[in-house]
Structure 1
Amino acid sequence: MKLSKKQARLRRATKFRAKHAEKGVERLCVYKSSQHIYVQLISACGTKTLASASSIKEKNGGNVVAAKKIGTEIAKAAKAVKVTKVAFDRSGFKYHGRVKALAEAARDGGLDF
């Protein structure tokens, strides 16, 4: 039986969470829709959201420019809660376009993946 795209993405995301939960490092979790991009900094145990940012307030939230802004915002928020080392959780999305722009902006802001 062939998996749908969504099922395959969810399976990859679950595999990532299970692998990094035992390492004890905070996760930078990304979700993107066609119109917006969302990112959360989740604690190592997975029970608390330490910081979050989204492109909802942006006029064009579904483009690369908005993703770069969100990347810098989450880097500032992570520094505020004294987190520098994170695991980048793409949630099964490919590493290109908006996801790549967000990750590079977060790295430039001082986060270490």
Structure 2
Amino acid sequence: IDDAKGHTIAAASTLEKDLKGSLKTGADTAAAVAIGKLIAERASKAGVKEVVFDRGPYIYHGRVKALAEAAREGGLSF
């Protein structure tokens, strides 16, 4: 999200048709890894390589960690 412009540059969700059928559930680390890879791919296509990862009140563990590591492996820097 570009906060200055109020514009979403790249987004991904486990509710998307392509992902929903391939995931056992949308609430596990496998789903977080899939989302991390997909968001990195979409951000890269949009020309974004560096982002700020705001985990909010969640600790850096489990699904949050899996999503972040997959996004890094996909080429995002934060």
The one-letter amino acid of 1:66's match is: A
- Give the Å deviation of 1:91: 1.8
Q: 2:4 aligns to what?
A: 45
SS of residue in 2 equivalent to 1:51: coil
Which structure would you say has the larger RCO, counting Cα contacts within 8 Å and 6 or more residues apart?
2
SS of residue in 2 equivalent to 1:103: helix
What is the CA deviation profile of residues 25-59 of structure 1, one whole-angstrom value per residue up to 9, with x for unaligned ones? xxxxxxxxxxxxxxxxx014160111110112234
TM-score, structure 1 normalization: 0.60
Q: 2:35 aligns to what?
A: 70
CA distance in 1, matches of 2:5, 2:61: 26
Q: 1:104 aligns to what?
A: 69
CA distance in 2, matches of 1:92, 1:54: 20
- Counterpart pick for 2:58 among 77, 90, 93: 93
**Structure 1 runs of 4+ off > 3 angstroms?**
none
CA distance in 2, matches of 1:74, 1:102: 9
Percent identity, aligned pairs only? 51
What is the CA deviation profile of residues 57-87 of structure 1, one whole-angstrom value per residue up to 9, with x for unaligned ones? 2341100011001000000000010000111
* Structure whose alpha-carbon radius of gyration is higher: 1
TM-score, structure 2 normalization: 0.86
CA distance in 1, matches of 2:65, 2:71: 10
CA RMSD of aligned residues (A): 1.2
Task: Give unpaired runs (5+ residues) of structure 2.
Answer: none
Aligned residues: 72
Task: Give unpaired runs (5+ residues) of structure 1.
Answer: 1-41
